[in-house]
Amino acid sequence: MSMPARTRDCKLCGQPFDLRGVATHERACFRRKAEQERDWAFEAKQHRATDQSLTPIDEPDRQQSNLAPPTAPDVPITSSASASTSAPLEPCLDDIRTEFHPRSGKATVTSHFEDYGHQVKDRARVVVSEEPWRPFRSRLDFDVANFALRNALNKEETNTLILLMKRAREDEAVTLSSHADMYDILEGASWILTPHEKTSIHVPFKDMVQDFEVHVKPLWEWALDLAGDPLLSPHFVWDAEKISKFNGTRFMRIYHEPWTADSFWNVQSSIPEGAKPFCLILYADKTKLSSFGGQKGYPVIARCGNLPVGIRNGEGTLGGGRVVGWLPIVEEDPAESSTPGWANFKNVVWHSAFYKLLETIIKISKTGYHFKCGDNIIRWLFVFILILSADYEKQCFMALIRGVKGKFPCPVCLVPANHQIDLSEDYPLRTAYDTQKIFEEIDRTPLQRDKEVILKSYSLRPVKSSFASIAYSDVYRALSWDRLHAYNLGLFGSHLWKQLKDHLAILGKDAEKQVDNQCDMIPRWRGLTHFKNVIKISFTDGKKFEHISKIILFASYNVIGDMRTNKPGYCLLRCIRCFLVLDMYASLNVHTEDTIAAGEQALLTFEQAMKEYLALIDDSKNWNFPKMHSHKHLFADIRAKGATRNFNTKPNEKLHGALKNIYDLQTNKKDVATQILKIDHYVLVMSFLQQRIDLLDEYCKSGEAADVDEGDVEDDIKPQSRTTILSAGHVLLGAVQKACSFNSLEERYKDDVAFSNFTQRLGPWMSQFLLASGIDLPNNTPIKFHSSNLIKEYRFLKVKYESKVDWRETMDYLHCMDCVLVDTVGGDIFAQLLFVFTCFVNKTPYPLALIQPLDAPIHIQRRKDKDLGFI
């Protein structure tokens, strides 16, 4: 049975703490005291050695107090320019050191782990408008329009809603007259933020010039919308940082947000002194708008790398990803589609259109731009492209390479096409500088056939890159590994999973059925898809494939066989295990030098396992394909740009759903791009206005609270509503059942050996526990429960704990029969959660859990368990 929450006073400061956290606090408390004593000794020595006269120090400029420091990112391992923790004389275990870029003018800061990331941040200084819903005539008009827009009401539905609201008039009347009136106001409000513009490009092909429409939101104007927003200003990070954690021997570098990685640092070193980098993350991909794929769109989505991931990858906020462009899709010409000229033509169209999007930042990237940001500080901003996020096909367009059929199909390096599985080999990296030199050589080459030979030798296309004009940006360094398409939909979903299904098909229907049954037997877990019939799945989304990869080893290892009975299938399972280890490292939100090194070693282990497997199978499949090679650059990308969630396409592809809904519900299926982008922009503007309205509500609420004196507060106190949640330290118990007696409990579970003699066993255990916890027994007699005593059952647990991955407080959601990790006196053990309840001793409730320990020793370790990572 688990221990209930208890407290104990710190031996040094005397403050009460939960028993599970008091040891950590006491270590920190003793450490602070020791450092304080060292500081006092040092100060005393200085006083004795120096003259006692004091020199006045000028008071700092008080205007600086208005500067809002950048916020901490969305993980605790983050810093703030406002952090004022003094560096300890000697580093302690887990101390966090933040080294700011030399051009930031900020000193290096070292903080104790428990203090780090908890500095109080200044609130955004925003002038609160009394009517933030303008240009709508009233707040109710805004709310009605916002409801209609977000629920995709069409013209007829919107008019009906307005009529109903007018009939239900009370204190506030709707002044909107119709759908058309609402959209007239929306159009007027659209200029609050940078709207989309429609332009065109003209691209020659053979003897004709073809025209294409391009829709762009001027990229620099969008960037200034963000930088100038006072609500976002506290969250911007303008200086690169190198963050490290002390492991007892040395400070170990940490990578998570873009500004903690190398590229951001290098750009800040390259731009002029006093300037600040403005980091762009761009994504582009086609999407099907209609159910059957007849109508497609090609959105470009931008995000700002200076904002923390919680805002940057958020949805429905100004600081999140926005559609900033809509590229043309070249309709295939059956007579031309297989020719090199047609492929080059499509690449020319793509880069001509993308150039329209980048036009406004070309000059800014070279000269910078002085701008008063949302915190009223004028900064000299230099924009650059840090990340290009896309699947392999779009990366080939961006890099202007010839794709899978080229001699060097990787957009990042010059790996030969027949060596893509050789992950232990290093090949020259592509660079924008080298490509420029190649094109200079081509310009000096008179014959067209000789030009083509040179281009083919690098798998390049004879097209000018739209990225070449952007300073401090290298398209090949910006192209980033994509976990969604490379792993979930790629290496596992399209290859390893298919191989496993082929092996199971050879074993027969019974084997396939057994795997399905064992998948169904896997306990349900929050956030994990439960599969009943997994074998028939051949095409699904990346999330489903990710979940299949997590469970399939456990559902198939006893079906496939072993090294003696089915060596190829067994080796395939080893490959899947190696893949899962790689995917684990790829998915980490916080990396250290150690996790990156371990990930690189796991990559080599995967290569070896794959080659062993391929040597055993008679398969015509060519395993030298781009997604087998692409993770060669995974860990270099993490060092350069931070964790993979900074460049994963998944957050961007989620936005496709909103665009499809707009197309389906709010357009007339004509001039689709214009209508979709207009509605998308209206939604953004309404979100912007809603933030201001929420700010006004908060301001009014705080003002009302300030006007209430203590007497009024006492008079207005209302009885708290009853709750079914019980808090016990770091554990929350929920889903409470009706109280029942011990007798009825044992009767209910009479066939379950775990509840055998439950009442008699609980009393001695409780007596021993209370004495071990320093709690006196009632009347100094052993506790004995009676069959008529009542207990309360709970069927849901929330457990808060410190994650070992990113050191943040994390919460798990548990139900009875879930497997758990339990902290016992003898160390951590696995167990199964059987029953959660509270019982009373001397009218004091004690929350307890009945568990089945899964800690029996394994005397014989099988090779299969070791090879498949089960032990």
Sites in the chain below the pLDDT cut of 70: 1-89, 117-126, 169-171, 293, 703-728
This prediction's pTM? 0.84
For residue 408 the two structure tokens come to: 């060097």
- Strands (E) located in 607-666: none
Peptide bond into 411 cis (omega under 30): no
DSSP state, residue 470: S
Q: Which residues contact 330 (CB under 8 A, 6 or more apart)?
A: 212, 345, 346, 349
* CB of 718 closer than 8 Å to CB of 712: no
Distance in angstroms (rounded) separating the CA atoms of residues 61 and 585:
47
Distance in angstroms (rounded) separating the CA atoms of residues 736 and 743:
19
Distance in angstroms (rounded) separating the CA atoms of residues 352 and 806:
42
Distance in angstroms (rounded) separating the CA atoms of residues 550 and 552:
6
pLDDT of 706 reads 56
Q: Are strands 275-284 and 591-592 parallel, antiparallel or unpaired?
A: unpaired
pLDDT of 226 reads 97
pLDDT of 620 reads 83
Cα maximum dimension of the chain:
105
Q: Which residues contact 126 (CB under 8 A, 6 or more apart)?
A: 230, 231, 695
- For residue 441, what is the enclosing H or E element? helix 432-443
**How many angstroms separate the Cα of 492 from the Cα of each of 484, 538, 547, 566, 628?**
10, 11, 11, 21, 10
Helices (H), 73-170: 139-150, 155-167
Helices (H), 210-250: 219-227
pLDDT of 761 reads 94
Q: How many angstroms from the chain centroid is the CA of residue 611?
A: 33
For residue 341 the two structure tokens come to: 């000229």
